[in-house]
Amino acid sequence: MNAILLFIEWITGFLLFSAKNLLRRKTGDVKNPGRVSVIIPARNEEHSLPHLLDSLKNQTLKPYEIIVVDDGSEDKTSEIAKKYGAMVVRNEKVEKGWTGKSWAVWRGFLKSSGDILVFLDADVRLKPEAIEELIYLRGKTNGVISVFPYHYTERLYEKFSILFNFLGALTFTSPFERVLKKGGMCGAVLICTRDDYVKIGGHSSVRAEIVEDMALGRMFEEEGIPVETYLGYRLVSFRMYPDGYMSLVEGFTKNTAKGALSISLPTLSLLIFWFSGLLSTGIVFFLNLLRGTLELNHYAIFYFLYTLQLLSLGRFIGNFGFILPVFHIFPSVFFLSIFLNSIYRYYIRGIVSWKDRAISIRGWGK
């Protein structure tokens, strides 16, 4: 692989990333937003939920109501929600034809009464200005706002999610997604009006989808309702998989293959192009290191440049530390193995799992 091709692959990362999508401090006043309903689907979230409910209590724009849908939890999720004064909806059984999250969110919506709907995953954490800023941005676009949260990590295995988050961020900031109106949307944080949600049929219209947020985004766009996705950066964060390594593997296996095929072909092609350069420089550099034959060639130079890129752009996406960006061959191989397993599980076996639930896929699997 020559140096010119490596340069084009490397520079693709900067071309896809847009600082305009970084969520920053409040840029305007919110006047008469109406009643705000916060809907939180939660399954065994006793450790994550208090962080979110604490942050909701401290919002500059107070929600009218907070609804926690206990999606068959076996821990103290309901008790914690009640302690914070939230309305609790028990969701013991998933209706046939629905995936668990979509069913839980729909049940929460049916109990809500707000003019503005704010859907939040239970592992999300909000700065005090977050909801006010998001509602302001929604008013500017008169559409739907979603947020790809800043990924807060604590343990080493969590930091191995760096490339999933990095590629996800590049997807949401890609100019092609905006121009082609693919409706790329992150379901962790979603803000829309009640009228717009009802217009597309809400989560009822994507009841069987595994990656329901991308499908929902497409439906908004098809109805002429614009979708804008921001990076959480300083206002919205989450800690995705605090329960252990296997929960991380399970979560990314469930979403990665289907999510990749839900984005536009130009964006997907450029992401593959960028990743192939990252992987090739990592393999060559690591093999030379093992052989003791390191030399300053174009592979070594671009290995270093990819490291700088991961460090410089990664700081807007999550706290992944210094070690894994430097030794990026390891998260690269990890990402590739999960992606291939996701393709196998989704399109060949036809079954993925999440939080002790086996989910049957419509399509090739039996």
* C-alpha distance from residue 190 to each of 105, 131, 202, 256, 351 (Å): 11, 11, 12, 20, 27
CB 27 within 8 A of CB 234: no
What is the per-residue pLDDT for 98?
79
- Mean pLDDT of all residues in 289-303: 83
113-135 residue pLDDT tens: 999 999 999 999 999 999 999 99
Query: How large is the C-alpha radius of gyration of the chain?
Result: 21
**C-alpha to C-alpha distance for 88 and 243, rounded to whole angstroms:** 23
Express each pLDDT in 34-73 by its tens digit.
899 999 999 889 999 999 999 999 999 999 999 999 988 8
C-beta separation of 116 from 144 below 8 A: no
Question: Cβ-count burial of 171 within 10 angstroms (0-12 exposed, 13-18 middle, 19+ buried)?
Answer: buried
What is the DSSP code (8-state) at residue 237? E
pLDDT tens digits, 222-241:
999 999 999 999 899 999 88
Q: How many CB atoms lie within 10 A of CB 347?
A: 15
Q: pTM of the full predicted structure?
A: 0.90
Query: Is a pLDDT exceeding 70 seen at residue 289?
Result: yes
Q: What is the pLDDT of residues 239-286, one digit of tens each?
A: 988 888 988 988 888 778 777 777 888 999 999 999 999 999 999 988
Give the contacts of 96 (CB within 8 A, at least 6 positions apart): none
- What angle, 0 to 180 degrees and rounded to 10, lies between the N-to-C axes of helices 3-16 and 265-291? 130
What average pLDDT does this structure show over 72-100? 86
Domains contained in the chain, CATH given = 3-16+263-360 (no CATH), 19-242 (3.90.550.10)
Give the angle subtended at the CA of 123 by the CAs of 117 and 125, to the nearest 5°. Answer: 75
**Phi/psi at 136 (5° precision):** -60, -45
Q: Please calculate the CA angle 167-136-107 and round it to the nearest 5 degrees.
A: 70
Whole-angstrom Cα distance, residue 247 to residue 226? 33
Residue 313, classed as helix, strand or coil, is helix
Q: Nearest-CA neighbor of 55 among 177, 165, 189?
A: 189
Lookup: tokens for 328: 């990026």
